Chain A
């Protein structure tokens, strides 16, 4: 069992407090909004994708620290990368956060390995993957996506009282 405190590390708390690339892009080439209906959180992701690379990326919305830090670190990680490189990173992040791969098995994951511990917290995995899910939606012209969507790797509604 991972010590939960390890998830709330300095780097995640810092990105939550001072999110990078927070806001909107005026004329994005790609855009999507992601919802987590379980908690009501939502974030939007704007991308300016040039011929070769991601020139600019921004996000904004209401979310918990895990989601906001994940979004912030995602934007810094993919900015300047090609779409193909970003898509590889999305796959690696989703696989790591859902526990399908260890962070050691993800060659491009780098500092995003701080989110590896979330795979031990099934109720929080969705918080971490929402930004990545939304970026994937933006690339594929899916303007609204949800952690409860059919294609969601974590599709497992959690009921409550």
Chain B
């Protein structure tokens, strides 16, 4: 038994009752290739507890109708449950007002909303947008599209070999043409936790708004958008034990009110004639068409579930998983961790000498272990680290210390096959 396992054993069970939590996730009982499933691809998508599955079933069997429309009973119930979910999300990230919480289809959709709604209105020829080397493609490509359309320029914050942003270089990128900053909170490829609060303060001192891609941060830590003082914060439901097809854009009310709508259609209007259309107030201005109502309500149930465990308890437990895995991998000859930032979330990218990540992925899968292999939608990082791809194990609070050991044993098996 490792030191960490021993420490956890003596921790009060009420603080973090692992066995009870584990039992909430039916999918984790699956066998893959006749081995117990070891699901370590949580950064790509997390699994759903029974409580959220039950909530979806209850909505669909007793509460479903379209929202914001009819006066009949079910429509009123669905509307009220949908808006209740918005309030749950508001509290989850500590947004000041519920109208600052916009339902989107996910982080990508949320960033595209800001690009179209804010960027196309306020960023012009010769203006500069600051992004970082760590960004996921979803926080690069929309801004490239905007830069191409407007004749704006993208400036990129470099990283060091550990995968940490060079904050001095970030600060040097600012000038009078800087109009926007896009930065991820936690790197999906390397796990780096970026010092976004300081970065936001620096940008704000120069009057520049900041969008934070929080897709990988919200599952791992307590996020407080008022404390961060960010202007936009985007994240996805399916990485938070919720359904796919739902995500959140938090935006400061004053900014959202001045933005162009992203999509036109029903629900986002006050009145429509062929001469003139009046847009609805926020958040509805940005929620055209029938939203994924069930998914939004499911996400509300998911953040209830996470909040009940406590994001701080989740963060502490996941760090013990990360520490254990990091120590064990560091002790293995021929295995190298990519991303060694001082502040990391429970994401572990690694390379095995002489073995291509895809071969690692296939062989670990044979042991029932699910990891991600590839470029993690972050090709600029791969270029910077001079690797075509990595293997990535990403942990969630429902992973056990035994599963860390299974990963280590799996990597040893891979090495044995390739020697």
Is A38's CB within 8 Å of the partner chain B? Answer: yes
Highest count of chain B CB atoms <10 Å: which of A5, A39, A121, A124: A39
- Contact indicator per residue, chain B 107-136, by CB within 8 Å of chain A (1) or not (0): 000000000000000000000000000000
Is B171's CB within 8 Å of the partner chain A? Answer: no
Is A65's CB within 8 Å of the partner chain B? Answer: yes
Is B11's CB within 8 Å of the partner chain A? Answer: no
Is A4's CB under 8 angstroms from B33's CB?
Answer: yes
Is B358's CB under 8 angstroms from A4's CB?
Answer: no
Residues of A within 8 A of B375 (CB): 39-40
- Output the nearest chain B residue to A42 by Cβ-Cβ distance: B388
Smallest beta-carbon distance A125→chain B, Å: 12
Is B362's CB under 8 angstroms from A7's CB?
Answer: yes
- Output the nearest chain A residue to B238 by Cβ-Cβ distance: A161
Assembly CA distance A41 to B375 (angstroms): 11
Assembly CA distance A39 to B374 (angstroms): 5
Smallest beta-carbon distance A70→chain B, Å: 13
- Contact indicator per residue, chain A 9-48, by CB within 8 Å of chain B (1) or not (0): 0000100000000000000000000000011110000000
Is B159's CB within 8 Å of the partner chain A? Answer: no
- Contact indicator per residue, chain B 356-379, by CB within 8 Å of chain A (1) or not (0): 111100110110000011111101
Is B359's CB under 8 angstroms from A39's CB?
Answer: no
Q: How large is the interface on B (under 10, 10 to 19, 20 to 34, 35 or more residues)?
A: 20 to 34
Is A1's CB under 8 angstroms from B363's CB?
Answer: no
Is B355's CB within 8 Å of the partner chain A? Answer: yes
Residues of B within 8 A of A3 (CB): 366
Residues of A within 8 A of B366 (CB): 3-5
- Output the nearest chain B residue to A65 by Cβ-Cβ distance: B359
Q: Which of B357, B358, B379 contacts A124 (CB 8 A)?
A: B358
Is B358's CB under 8 angstroms from A160's CB?
Answer: no
Is A66's CB under 8 angstroms from B363's CB?
Answer: no
Is A13's CB under 8 angstroms from B389's CB?
Answer: no
Assembly CA distance A141 to B266 (angstroms): 52
Residues of A within 8 A of B239 (CB): 161
Q: Which of B33, B377, B388, B417 contacts A41 (CB 8 A)?
A: B388
Is B45's CB within 8 Å of the partner chain A? Answer: yes
Is B418's CB within 8 Å of the partner chain A? Answer: yes
Residues of B within 8 A of A139 (CB): none
Interface of chain A, main secondary structure? loop
Assembly CA distance A74 to B357 (angstroms): 23
A-B Cβ contacts below 8 A, count = 62
Given A1-B33, A8-B363, A65–B374 Cβ distance below 8 Å? no
In chain A between 120 and 150, which residues have their CB closer than 8 angstroms to a CB of chain B? Answer: 121, 123-124, 127
Assembly CA distance A38 to B382 (angstroms): 13
Is A39's CB under 8 angstroms from B388's CB?
Answer: yes
Is A40's CB under 8 angstroms from B358's CB?
Answer: no
- Output the nearest chain B residue to A159 by Cβ-Cβ distance: B377
Q: How large is the interface on A (under 10, 10 to 19, 20 to 34, 35 or more residues)?
A: 20 to 34
Interface of chain B, main secondary structure? mixed
Is B221's CB within 8 Å of the partner chain A? Answer: no
Smallest beta-carbon distance B311→chain A, Å: 21
Q: Which of B43, B358, B365, B377 contacts A127 (CB 8 A)?
A: B358
Is B44's CB within 8 Å of the partner chain A? Answer: yes
Is A63's CB within 8 Å of the partner chain B? Answer: yes
Highest count of chain A CB atoms <10 Å: which of B33, B358, B379: B358
Is B188's CB within 8 Å of the partner chain A? Answer: yes
Residues of A within 8 A of B365 (CB): 4
Assembly CA distance A135 to B26 (angstroms): 47
Is A64's CB within 8 Å of the partner chain B? Answer: yes
- Output the nearest chain A residue to B107 by Cβ-Cβ distance: A161
Is A65's CB under 8 angstroms from B389's CB?
Answer: no
Assembly CA distance A41 to B374 (angstroms): 10
In chain B between 21 and 48, which residues have their CB closer than 8 angstroms to a CB of chain A? Answer: 33, 43-45
Smallest beta-carbon distance A131→chain B, Å: 15
Smallest beta-carbon distance B190→chain A, Å: 15
Assembly CA distance A5 to B356 (angstroms): 16
Is A85's CB within 8 Å of the partner chain B? Answer: no
Residues of B within 8 A of A8 (CB): 359, 362-363, 417
Smallest beta-carbon distance A152→chain B, Å: 18
Is B362's CB under 8 angstroms from A121's CB?
Answer: yes
Is A4's CB under 8 angstroms from B363's CB?
Answer: yes
Assembly CA distance A59 to B324 (angstroms): 42
Q: Which of B355, B362, B374, B418 contacts A160 (CB 8 A)?
A: B374
Q: Which of B43, B44, B45, B356 contacts A65 (CB 8 A)?
A: B356
Give 10 closest A-B pairs by Cβ, nearest first.
Answer: A64-B356, A40-B388, A4-B366, A64-B358, A161-B44, A65-B359, A64-B359, A39-B389, A39-B358, A39-B374
Q: What are 25 sample pairs from A and B whose C-beta atoms fall under 8 A apart?
A: A1-B33, A4-B33, A4-B362, A5-B366, A5-B417, A38-B374, A39-B357, A39-B374, A40-B375, A40-B379, A40-B382, A40-B388, A40-B389, A41-B356, A41-B388, A64-B358, A65-B356, A65-B418, A124-B358, A124-B362, A160-B372, A160-B374, A160-B376, A161-B44, A161-B188
- Which residues on A are within 8 Å of B, measured CB to CB? 1, 3-5, 7-8, 13, 38-41, 62-66, 121, 123-124, 127, 160-161
- Which residues on B are within 8 Å of A, measured CB to CB? 33, 43-45, 188, 239, 355-359, 362-363, 365-366, 372-377, 379, 382, 388-389, 417-418
**Extra pairs beyond A3-B366, A8-B359 (5, CB < 8 Å):** A4-B362, A5-B366, A65-B359, A66-B359, A161-B188
